[in-house]
Amino acid sequence: MCIFCKIVNKEIPNNTVHESEHFLAFHDLYPKAPIHILIIPKIHVDCFQNASAETMAGLTLFSQEVARKVGVDKTGYRLITNNGEDGGQEVNHLHFHMLGGAKLAWDHTHEDAHKSL
Ligand code: 5GP
Ligand code: ZN
Q: For every residue of the chain, which 3-state class applies, written as one string?
A: CCHHHHHHCCCCCCCEEEECCCEEEEECCCCCCCEEEEEEECCCCCCHHHCCHHHHHHHHHHHHHHHHHHCHHHHCEEEECCCHHHHCCCCCCCCEEEEECCCCCCCCCCHHHHCCC
Question: Residue 92 Cα, ligand 2 centroid: separation in angstroms?
Answer: 7
Among all bound ligands, the one having the nearest atom to the CA of 79 is 1
Residues in the ligand 1 pocket, defined by CB under 6 Å: 3, 12, 14, 26-30, 38, 82, 88-91
| Listed residues: CB within 5 A of ion ligand 2 | 2, 4-5, 44, 93
What is the domain extent for residue 55? 3-116
Is 95 a known active-site residue?
yes
The pTM for the full model equals 0.95
The pLDDT of residue 89 is above 70: yes
Average per-residue pLDDT in the chain? 95
Query: Residue 93 is part of a domain; what is its CATH number?
Result: 3.30.428.10
Q: What is the mean pLDDT of residues 20-47?
A: 98
- Return the pLDDT at 81: 98
The pLDDT of residue 117 is above 60: no
- Return the pLDDT at 109: 75
Q: How many domains does the chain have?
A: 1
